[in-house]
Structure 1
Amino acid sequence: MTPATARTAPYRKFISSNRAELGLLALIRLLQLASPALPVGAYTYSQGLEWAVESGRIRDEASAGAWIGDVLTGAVGRFEAPLLIGLLAAWSAADAAEVGRLNADFLASRESAELRAETVQMGFSLNRLLADLRDPTLGCVQATLALLPEIAFPTAWAGIAAAWSIEPPAACAAYLWSWAENQVMAALKAVPLGQAAGQRLLAELGTRIPTVVGGAQSLPPAAWSNYTPAYAICNARHETQYSRLFRS
């Protein structure tokens, strides 16, 4: 080691340590965003899964896994996930116009009144949480969201993730995991299923998420699609379901 290298070694060690801490902080913030404890009421929604159980489409662990997996790779993976990637890019570029456009696109894509009400309610709750967090790094997110007449949940979620410097692939993976976890929890209550079955479902769904994220990053907007008729019908039919546990 030369004298110059010896003199700069402590500084390099400090920089490396500082980067590691920042990386861990981003991970912790990501876990916070993906946590079931996030106060947005996600646990009160099943996104049509409850009607799928009522109609007999979902009746056991295998059919629950098939249903959730198909929605993950179809409606969510081919529309919601790439739109989230687009939102993350727009927030990082401080492009308020693009944030607003993608927010409107997502609202327009909701196939039923319940699905639309769900994302607006969750977006409202997440926007309200922004002020309660008292984090100055989120000020620009609050200012942009204040310009929107209605806020879709992924719009607010992506804004926080971008402000907290979370990398898009990790953010998208966590968003999908949170969605899958909520769907599995709904299945556990509605089918019902046991806890071990829920963990098997999550383990299998987790293996799909990296592929879905990779596809979302490369899918051009012209190819985005949430065309899943059975999913849309179940969401619409849930609106008149007589006995139910969930709001969608």
Structure 2
Amino acid sequence: MNDTLALARLLQLASPALPVGAYTYSQGLEWAVESGVIRDEAGAARWIGDLLAHAIGRFEAPLLARQMQAWRDTDHAEVLRLDADFLASRESAELRAETAQMGFSLRRLLRDLRDEGLAPVALVVDPLAEVAFPTVWSGIAATWGIAPHAAVVAYLWSWAENQVMAALKAVPLGQAAGQRLLATLGTRLPALADAALDLPEAAWSNFTPAFALACARHETQYSRLFRS
């Protein structure tokens, strides 16, 4: 695959049009708004930025990069080990259900794309009762020949964009505020991707207690827009 086609495929994977239902989740942000932790643009920037740096960038991103390498090496045992680790890392029932639902939807898309090159990925993930979203995403990215650094940047961008869109609805914020947030967050992504690619597994961490509590408390929040 040439670089231009790889870029097009990467944009497809990172697009909010990817039919996995990401827009229905806030990952605890809605509860942070309800509780007053997030009140405005500055609060949203702190919440999303801290989570990006201390959890998504230090656990989800390096795990995704390692899974891409495992897919390239056809090391399916490693792919499945990391899949189990990711599922076990979900601190609340909603977070677990989210990645399982999105993983299920992306696994279904493997067939709907009618791309014979993705058949080896489907062969590995189809027998699983549950599969994490990063597992299927990394398999597609690796098969499509997307460079690991670009893939991690795009994955982080997609997560950040979804969080900003949730903030626009829940705080609420204006469209210009959303673009300011994305511009600021975007400047941090290359360095986060660099760090994720080099981070040894022993240093991976998603220790963010406030995030875990927000996700758990959202499960019983009386009035809400998002599934998690």
1:83 has 2:63 as partner: yes
Rounded to whole Å, the distance in 2 between the matches of 1:82 and 1:147 is 25
Residue of structure 1 aligned with 2:76, choices 69, 92, 96: 96
What letter matches 1:34 in structure 2?
A
Rounded to whole Å, the distance in 2 between the matches of 1:216 and 1:22 is 25
Task: Please give the per-residue CA displacement for 1:74-112, whole angstroms capped at 9, x wherever unaligned.
Answer: 110110000001110001111110000000000000000
1:202 has 2:178 as partner: no
Calculate the TM-score normalised by the size of structure 1. Answer: 0.91
Residue of structure 2 aligned with 1:170, choices 125, 130, 150: 150
Q: State how many pairs are aligned.
A: 228
Secondary structure in structure 2 of the residue aligned to 1:241: coil
1:155 has 2:147 as partner: no
Residue of structure 2 aligned with 1:179, choices 145, 159, 167: 159
Rounded to whole Å, the distance in 2 between the matches of 1:148 and 1:82 is 22
1:234 has 2:214 as partner: yes
Moved over 2 A (4+): none
**How high is the sequence identity, in percent, across the aligned residues?**
73
Conserved? CA contact 1:100–1:148, under 8 Å: no
Rounded to whole Å, the distance in 2 between the matches of 1:69 and 1:238 is 20
What letter matches 2:209 in structure 1?
P
1:32 is matched with 12
Task: Please give the per-residue CA displacement for 1:162-198, whole angstroms capped at 9, x wherever unaligned.
Answer: 0100010000000000000000000000000000000
Residue of structure 2 aligned with 1:223, choices 194, 200, 203: 203
Rounded to whole Å, the distance in 1 between the matches of 2:33 and 2:107 is 32
Rounded to whole Å, the distance in 1 between the matches of 2:128 and 2:84 is 9
Q: What displacement does 1:148 show?
A: 2.3
Q: What displacement does 1:150 show?
A: 1.1
1:144 has 2:102 as partner: no
Residue of structure 2 aligned with 1:123, choices 90, 103, 108: 103
Residue of structure 2 aligned with 1:105, choices 62, 79, 85: 85
2:192 is matched with 212
1:55 has 2:35 as partner: yes
Rounded to whole Å, the distance in 1 between the matches of 2:191 and 2:210 is 23
Query: Unaligned stretches of 5+ in structure 1?
Result: 1-20
Task: Please give the per-residue CA displacement for 1:186-239, whole angstroms capped at 9, x wherever unaligned.
Answer: 000000000000000000000111111011011100010000000000000000
Calculate the TM-score normalised by the size of structure 2. Answer: 0.99
Q: Give the aligned CA root-mean-square deviation in angstroms.
A: 0.7
What letter matches 2:154 in structure 1?
A
Rounded to whole Å, the distance in 1 between the matches of 2:29 and 2:205 is 20
